[in-house]
């Protein structure tokens, strides 16, 4: 059995186990959710080859895959993983993305009215009696 040099994008997505069925893979590609070498495609019959880079937009994640080979069948997952190399960048850690609000000491609670008066007197000693 000879490896083909080019394959339809819908068949490859199905063989690589990125999409559950070939029908869904065809609809997925036609909806514009796949980019090949940073070019948006809109047809399931688009031909891909080893070396192409796919950018796949799924619900809450983006996959970047480099094609290593064309599949002959939808085999088990270890066989499907041989068809691509995952080059998806690592997500940014939540601590780097957003600054954290100031934290209170545990058990300190909110200041009482009496505490607020003392704070005000401390900040403005000439205003208080």
Q: Is 90 exceeded by the pLDDT of residue 128?
A: no
* pLDDT tens digits, one per residue of 69-103: 999 999 999 999 999 999 999 887 655 666 666 67
Q: With 70 as the cut, is the pLDDT of residue 12 above it?
A: yes
- 14, pLDDT greater than 50: yes
pTM for the model: 0.69
What number is the average pLDDT over the span 39-43?
Answer: 95
Q: Is 129 within the bounds of a domain?
A: no
Query: How confident is the model at residue 26, as a pLDDT?
Result: 96
Residue carrying the six token digits 């065809």: 26
Confirm whether 58 is domain-assigned. Answer: yes
In this predicted structure, what is the pLDDT of residue 81?
Answer: 95
Which of 47, 41, 53, 37 is closest to 8 using CA atoms?
47
Q: How far apart are CA 59 and CA 1, in angstroms?
A: 36
Higher per-residue confidence, 63 vs 111: 63
How many domains does one find in the chain? 1
- Is residue 84 a part of any domain in this protein? yes
Q: Please give the residue range of the domain that contains residue 85.
A: 7-90
Is residue 44 within 8 Å of residue 25, measured between CB atoms? yes
For residue 23, tell me if it sits in a domain. yes
What CATH number is attached to the domain comprising 72?
Answer: 3.10.290.10
Residue 104 domain flag:
no
């Amino acid at each position: 059995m000879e490896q083909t040099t080019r394959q339809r994008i819908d068949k490859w997505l199905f063989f690589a186990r990125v999409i559950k069925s070939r029908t869904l893979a065809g609809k997925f590609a036609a909806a514009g959710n796949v980019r090949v070498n940073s070019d948006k495609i809109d047809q399931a019959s688009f031909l891909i080859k080893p070396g192409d880079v796919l950018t796949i937009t799924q619900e809450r994640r983006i996959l970047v895959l480099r094609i290593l080979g064309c599949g002959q069948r939808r085999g088990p997952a270890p066989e499907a993983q041989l068809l691509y190399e995952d080059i998806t960048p690592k997500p940014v850690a939540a601590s780097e993305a957003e600054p954290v609000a100031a934290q209170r000491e545990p058990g300190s609670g909110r200041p009482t009215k009496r505490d607020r008066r003392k704070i005000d007197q401390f900040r403005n000693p000439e205003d208080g009696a």
